A and B are shown apart, each in its own frame.
Chain A
Amino acid sequence: MSGRTEGGAQARHLSWATRRQTFDAPMTRALTLIRRRLVGSIFVLLIVVVGTFLLLEAAPGDAVDAYIVSTGGDAGMIELLRHRWGLDQSELTRLANYLWALLHLDLGQSVTFSRPIRDVILERLPNTLLLMVSATALSFGLGSALGIYAGARPGSFRDRFLSIGSLALYAVPGFWLGLMLIVVFAVDLRWLPIGGIETLASDKTGLDRAADIAIHLALPVSALGFIYLALYLRMMRAGMAEVWRQDFVLAARAKGLSRRRIVLAHVARNALLPLVTMLGLQSAQMLGGSVVIESVFSVPGLGRLAQEAVASRDTPLLLGIILTSAVLVIVINLLVDIAYAFLDPRVGAGEAGA
């Protein structure tokens, strides 16, 4: 459903972009694209920084309050800390200071961790990336494969079954699916661990450690991936339904190609491109979804960190996490666009970076 509407908007957008098509070499087109995107991204990031900064400024209490709650201290100490952390300056001065520090990749100091926020985030980021990449691979791979299977015979029983089944799956809240997976696979069957990223203090190295992490991530990756699987399945199926009607499919049939070859080489291949765009669009949703999934499975990632930051009122940390996520989303979308420039010769230099 969502795939269908968003796919439609995307198609319209593409047709507009292809009006001024230029058939440069993929590398040239990719470089032009990167340059355009980077300029646009800086504005977008600036809006994100200023907007989030002002929103979090409105929060009751500041970092000093959060600090005093955890350590205790008198009015003199509060005064001293406010001055030392620059919190007694005006809002605009602090925003300017924050932006200036940001230029040096300095996100400030976390109150709850008593460490630079950048270090805390960089420590947690790999876990979230691993979770996201694995879940994306699962949902994209299995989703598009099932979508091809369903779309190969539009209107058949398996098509209807898969499209209703995927809709039902899409209606499942990720955190609940996670809990149910825990009930079945960790509590009843005891096949998989209930949470965490690896066995604590196990001194495992190399492949043993990788296997340990894989076992720990199996459930969270499934919980996160299965929700979005439905999206790719439905989009693939809807895309194939569009392509079936096109003339080149008729031509392929007239040429006497086997049905299997028509499905794979012509229909599925052309329906796959919008899914690549969806990968980028979905990345922000996936990051948001991992907040809850990481909390369900106690995965020490960025999402769980965000929840900890909210719980301890560590607003600078929350700000840092939001910025990091925004940068991550921009980078992922840029990578997707570059991949697209290589995959589809029509997309490229004419695009204004909307």
Chain B
Amino acid sequence: MSALRRFLRTPEAVAGAILLAVLIAMALSASLLFPGDPQAIAGPALLPPFQDWSLPLGTDRLGRDVLAELFHGARTSLAVGLAAAAAALVVGAVVGTLAGFAGGLVDEVLMRITDAFQTVPSFLLALAFVSVVGPSLGVVAIALGTWTGPARVARAEVLSIRERDYVAGARVIGMHPLAIAFREVLPNALPPVLAMSSVIVAAAILTEAALSFLGLGDPNRVTWGGMISEGRAVLRTAPFLSIVPGIALVLTVLGVYLAGEGIVETTAVRRGLS
């Protein structure tokens, strides 16, 4: 049985994949379905959902189309989440590989730095970073707090790989240590690091939402966190303005978790069989 078929037989994984597919479709079709500025005024303010079919989810405090904002927000969430997670995985894998392969003083210094990053609450670090360089570099701010996990996992994996015969072989034929580290060791240390990616993407999406909620997101983009924050002002009279983007966030993160877990489990089984 192929991994794909096994994936399709797991109901949770399929649900996750569907959620993710919907999200990606929303992000890709945002400019097609809702061309123009999603932050422009589209109708009367605070129109409740399901009243006017040209504005199915109603409007917010300023009369902006909630559905259009939701679609454009999907784009921000996905873009920032994926970019931050990719940056965290790359930095983590490189730092972990260097630390594990070099050992000694390099390892010691890199791991103390990792400790330092893990000691400072990552959200506080992101807050400080955004306050210094501005909200446009939110991706870096989020990655700052998430690269440590991959770094530790990569290091642990490299420590076990570096004693293997093929690494000794590469040394004997006179390969440069850096070439061994990144061409021979790193690719083999990647699977457990990549297995963390769904958790990291999810964490990045949640951190981005929290930053935007506190008003530290990119002001030129629609974000779900920003929408919730906007809706908070009218929480008593129009709670749906906070509820709708919140549900979108939950479904997105859940989709990432479920699909990620599905992929990890199906591939793990395959590895176990072969």
Measured CB to CB, the residues of A under 8 A from B are 1-2, 5-6, 9, 12-13, 40, 43-45, 47-48, 51-52, 55-56, 58-59, 164, 167-168, 170-176, 179-180, 182-183, 187, 284-285, 287-289, 291-292, 295, 303, 306-307, 310, 313, 318, 321-322, 325-326, 329-330, 354
Residue in contact with B128 in the complex, picked from A55, A172, A179, A287, CB distance below 8 Å: A55
State A170–B199 Cα separation when bound (angstroms): 11
User: Which residue of chain A has the shortest Cβ distance to B200 in the bound complex?
Assistant: A2
6 contacts between A and B (CB under 8 A): A40-B112, A55-B132, A168-B250, A173-B246, A179-B242, A180-B242
**Which 10 pairs from chain A and chain B are nearest by CB?**
A288-B123, A288-B121, A171-B253, A47-B116, A176-B246, A171-B254, A287-B121, A310-B131, A59-B132, A2-B199
Distance to closest chain B CB from A162 (angstroms):
13
Number of A-B contacts (CB under 8 A): 154
Query: Could you tell me how many residues of chain B have their Cβ less than 8 Å away from some Cβ of chain A?
Result: 56
State A59–B130 Cα separation when bound (angstroms): 10
Question: B214: CB under 8 A from chain A?
Answer: yes
Most chain B CB within 10 A, of A5, A6, A174, is at A5
Task: Let me know if A44 and B254 touch, CB within 8 A.
Answer: no
Distance to closest chain A CB from B235 (angstroms):
6
User: Which residue of chain B has the shortest Cβ distance to A13 in the bound complex?
Assistant: B156
Most chain A CB within 10 A, of B156, B210, B260, is at B210
Starting from the known contacts A44-B115, A180-B243, 11 additional A-B residue pairs (CB-CB under 8 Å) come to A1-B199, A45-B119, A55-B129, A168-B254, A171-B253, A175-B213, A176-B209, A183-B242, A310-B127, A326-B120, A330-B119
State A182–B221 Cα separation when bound (angstroms): 27
Most chain A CB within 10 A, of B116, B133, B153, is at B116
Contacts of A306 in B (CB 8 A): 124, 127
State A176–B246 Cα separation when bound (angstroms): 6
Distance to closest chain B CB from A220 (angstroms):
15
Known contacts A2-B199, A183-B235; A322 and B132 CB within 8 A of each other = no
Contacts of B228 in A (CB 8 A): 175-176, 179
Task: Let me know if A325 and B121 touch, CB within 8 A.
Answer: yes
Task: Let me know if A5 and B120 touch, CB within 8 A.
Answer: no
Distance to closest chain A CB from B238 (angstroms):
11
Task: Let me know if A52 and B120 touch, CB within 8 A.
Answer: yes
Most chain A CB within 10 A, of B124, B206, B258, is at B124
- 8 A Cβ contacts from B107-144 to A: 111-113, 115-116, 118-125, 127-133
Task: Let me know if B124 and A183 touch, CB within 8 A.
Answer: no
State A29–B244 Cα separation when bound (angstroms): 53
Distance to closest chain B CB from A243 (angstroms):
19
Distance to closest chain B CB from A107 (angstroms):
15
Task: Let me know if A44 and B210 touch, CB within 8 A.
Answer: no
Distance to closest chain A CB from B106 (angstroms):
15
Distance to closest chain A CB from B126 (angstroms):
8
Question: B257: CB under 8 A from chain A?
Answer: yes
Most chain B CB within 10 A, of A174, A175, A187, is at A175
Contacts of A180 in B (CB 8 A): 242-243, 246
Task: Let me know if B246 and A48 touch, CB within 8 A.
Answer: no
State A175–B231 Cα separation when bound (angstroms): 13
Known contacts A167-B258, A295-B214; A52 and B127 CB within 8 A of each other = no
State A2–B200 Cα separation when bound (angstroms): 9
Residue in contact with A325 in the complex, picked from B113, B124, B257, B261, CB distance below 8 Å: B124
State A167–B124 Cα separation when bound (angstroms): 25
Question: B196: CB under 8 A from chain A?
Answer: yes
Distance to closest chain B CB from A302 (angstroms):
9
Contacts of A173 in B (CB 8 A): 206, 209-210, 213, 225, 246, 249-250, 253
Task: Let me know if A9 and B116 touch, CB within 8 A.
Answer: no
State A48–B253 Cα separation when bound (angstroms): 31
Contacts of A330 in B (CB 8 A): 119
Known contacts A6-B149, A167-B258; A58 and B250 CB within 8 A of each other = no
Question: B64: CB under 8 A from chain A?
Answer: no
Question: B195: CB under 8 A from chain A?
Answer: yes
Task: Let me know if A48 and B119 touch, CB within 8 A.
Answer: yes
Contacts of A171 in B (CB 8 A): 202, 250-251, 253-254, 257
Task: Let me know if B242 and A176 touch, CB within 8 A.
Answer: yes
Distance to closest chain A CB from B92 (angstroms):
12
State A47–B148 Cα separation when bound (angstroms): 15
Task: Let me know if A321 and B124 touch, CB within 8 A.
Answer: yes
Contacts of A55 in B (CB 8 A): 128-129, 132
Contacts of A47 in B (CB 8 A): 112-113, 115-116
Task: Let me know if B152 and A9 touch, CB within 8 A.
Answer: yes
State A310–B122 Cα separation when bound (angstroms): 15
Contacts of B156 in A (CB 8 A): 9, 12-13
Residue in contact with B196 in the complex, picked from A5, A52, A58, A326, CB distance below 8 Å: A5
Contacts of A329 in B (CB 8 A): 119-121
